[in-house]
Amino acid sequence: MSALRDNSEPRRPGRPRGGKRATASREQLLDIALNLFSRQGIANTSLNAIAKEAGVTPAMLHYYFNSREQLLDAMIEERFLPLRSKIGTIFVEHADSPVKALTQMVTVLAELAEQHHWFAPLWMQEVIGEMPVLRTHLHARFGDEKYQATLATIKRWQQEGQLNRDLAPELLFTTLLSLVLVPFSRMRNDERLNALSPEIIVKHALAVIGAGLGGQSRLDR
């Protein structure tokens, strides 16, 4: 008997055959990874866990991402950095107005948390957790040049009398992030906060910071 010739397309390396659902787009896998990261932290989420959640074989995940580091790089580049850039742009556009800059930051943070459900809980995991993988990756990639430049801007505002000098520049952004992202993170899992809306969260945050900025009794959106 002559051997049958296999006319099928050669299998690409790492591509799974049969078994579990063998189709999942790269975008879907990134979405699933982000959801898992936001629920249990990046450090506690393996590639196998992502594949299991997606209903695909680990080979399918490796087809798109050769390693966990490559998946993290893609997540940071394609999902996190655009949001980070949107926040950073605020301080370029309002470099001479701390009230406008910080008010806009609160509003934009709330918009991002509403649009991207992973954003607030991922921040919570990375800031409160003991293994801040995201922050470590960002620092390794970008250093702290932008952070230092932002601190310099805050200190300049204080020296010019535009911002309360009792505020600690190193704590200001952590405070603003907490005021907005903690409620967004908790409201989805705490029935006591079900009545909260993005508008209420923004209004509350602005009311809290309004008296502390100095020279302003209130902040208007």
* Mean pLDDT, range 205-210, rounded to an integer: 87
Among residues 170, 160, 159, 158, the alpha carbon closest in space to that of 212 is found at: 158
Rounded percentage of the chain residues whose pLDDT exceeds 90: 44
Q: How confident is the model at residue 23 (pLDDT cuts 50, 70, 90)?
A: low
Q: Which of 66, 86, 108 is the last residue of a domain?
A: 66
Domain that holds residue 54: 15-66
Please indicate, yes or no, whether residues 75 and 125 belong to a single structural domain of this protein: yes
CATH of the domain at 127: 1.10.357.10
For residues 125 and 80, what is the distance between their CA atoms, to the nearest angstrom? Answer: 14
The Cα 101–Cα 218 span in angstroms is 14
pLDDT value at position 88?
85
Give yes or no for a contact between 40 and 125, defined as CB atoms under 8 angstroms apart.
Answer: yes
Please report whether residue 216 resides in a domain: no
* 152 and 178 belong to one structural domain: yes
Average pLDDT, the chain: 82
* List of residues 6+ apart from 211 with CB closer than 8 A: 217, 218
Q: Is 219 contained in some domain? A: no
Give Cβ neighbours of residue 131 (< 8 Å, ≥ 6 apart). 41, 42, 43, 44
Residue 118 CA to residue 20 CA, distance in Å, equals: 26
Looking at 56-65, 74-83, 121-130, 191-200, which range is the least confident one? 121-130
Is residue 51 in a domain? yes
Q: What is the pLDDT of residues 117-176, one digit of tens each?
A: 999 999 888 776 666 788 888 888 778 888 888 899 999 999 999 998 889 999 988 889
Q: Do 202 and 101 sit in the same domain of this protein?
A: yes
- Kindly report the CATH number assigned to the domain that includes residue 46: 1.10.10.60
If asked whether residues 96 and 49 sit together in one domain, one would say no
Per-residue model confidence as pLDDT tens digits over 81-114: 899 889 888 988 998 999 999 999 999 999 999 9
Q: Do 79 and 22 belong together in one domain?
A: no
Are 40 and 111 part of one and the same domain? Answer: no
